[in-house]
């Protein structure tokens, strides 16, 4: 009887230990549970200089990449154990809802419409929408001067439609799969302007300084957040804590300056991590 009693006690403690371990790792399919396996899949952009870019030698660099690495490290995952997956604007929600990625750090503007499908941690960067035009174009001085012009943006973004709705009802909208397609079209004279966040446009302008320029009059107040699967408050809290630490230690400022400073972009103050 005493032997059976001891076995029962051992079994109880083993069960409690298992429950505690599962609790610390998070529920199955959560960000914490995935990180506890020592690996994360993170969606980034492959074609945005300064933010998220895959180089010709297959390396990944940019401010978003550094933010993703920092957060992953705080979750216990080293950069070597991150799988980078391209997250085009048209695919970001699908990648998260389909559990193809653990998080998206890809110039992902926080919006109420997107919050219906995904959650956001952060924000980790504030910015404004602007216009990229050809260097010799003197006719475009802001969004209100786009009537009759061809404005390019990327599929499943809202920036160009916002211009049409609020500033220039007669603007002609042109969509391409990637911003690099818009830049090519702008250089070729197929469109007259490209619109998106000013920090993205600054990277493209820096690549073509003799041919392209930013109008320099932001007309929105936006913020980038880290996209997460819905229903994971523990994961969101951990990402928020990581972002707060990145800001408070100066790592945020250093990463922003290293990746965005060369374009001449005026860096904003670090954002306040807000309640969700």
CA distance 247 to 257: 13
Query: Considering the entire predicted model, what is its pTM?
Result: 0.86
Q: What is the pLDDT of residues 50-75, one digit of tens each?
A: 999 999 999 999 999 999 999 999 99
pLDDT of residue 115: 95
CA-based end-to-end distance of the chain = 54
Distances (CA, A) of 52 to 46, 49, 205: 5, 6, 15
pLDDT of residue 19: 37
pLDDT of residue 156: 78
Q: Show the tokens assigned to 125.
A: 């960067």
Cis-peptide, bond into residue 131, ω within 30° of zero: no
Q: Show the tokens assigned to 214.
A: 């930013």
Please list the ranges in the chain whose pLDDT falls under 70.
1-26, 28, 275-276
CA distance 12 to 4: 12
- Cβ neighbors of 263 (< 8 A, separation 6 or more) are 49, 50, 202, 203, 205, 206
Q: Which of 105, 82, 100, 102 is nearest to 255 (CA)?
A: 105
Where do the domains of the chain lie, and which CATH numbers do they carry? 12-127+222-263 (3.40.190.10), 129-214 (3.40.190.10)
Q: What is the pLDDT of residues 143-181, one digit of tens each?
A: 999 999 999 988 878 888 889 999 999 999 999 999 999
């Amino acid at each position: 009887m005493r032997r059976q009693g001891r076995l029962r006690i051992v079994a109880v403690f083993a069960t409690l230990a298992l429950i505690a371990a599962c609790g610390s790792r998070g529920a199955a399919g959560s960000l914490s549970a995935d990180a506890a396996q020592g690996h994360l899949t993170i969606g980034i952009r492959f074609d945005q200089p300064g933010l998220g870019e895959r180089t010709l030698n297959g390396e990944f660099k940019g401010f978003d990449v550094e933010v993703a690495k920092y957060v992953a490290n705080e979750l216990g995952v080293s950069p070597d154990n991150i799988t980078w997956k391209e997250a085009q604007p048209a695919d970001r929600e699908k990648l998260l809802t389909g559990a193809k990625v653990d998080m998206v750090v890809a110039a992902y503007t926080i919006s109420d419409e997107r919050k219906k499908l995904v959650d956001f941690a952060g924000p980790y960067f504030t910015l404004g929408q602007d216009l990229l035009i050809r260097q010799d174009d003197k006719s475009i001085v802001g969004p209100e001067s786009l009537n009759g012009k061809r404005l390019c943006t990327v599929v499943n973004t809202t920036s160009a439609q916002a211009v049409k709705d609020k500033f220039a009802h007669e603007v002609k909208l042109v969509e391409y799969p990637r911003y690099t397609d818009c830049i090519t079209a702008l250089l070729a004279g197929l469109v007259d302007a490209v619109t998106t966040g000013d920090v993205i446009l600054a990277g493209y302008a820096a690549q073509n300084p003799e041919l392209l320029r930013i109008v320099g009059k932001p007309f929105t107040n936006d913020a980038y957040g880290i996209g997460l699967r819905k229903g994971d408050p523990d994961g969101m809290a951990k990402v928020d804590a990581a972002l707060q630490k990145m800001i408070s230690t100066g790592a945020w400022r250093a990463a922003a300056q290293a990746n965005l400073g060369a374009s001449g972009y005026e860096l904003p103050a670090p954002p306040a991590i807000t309640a969700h």
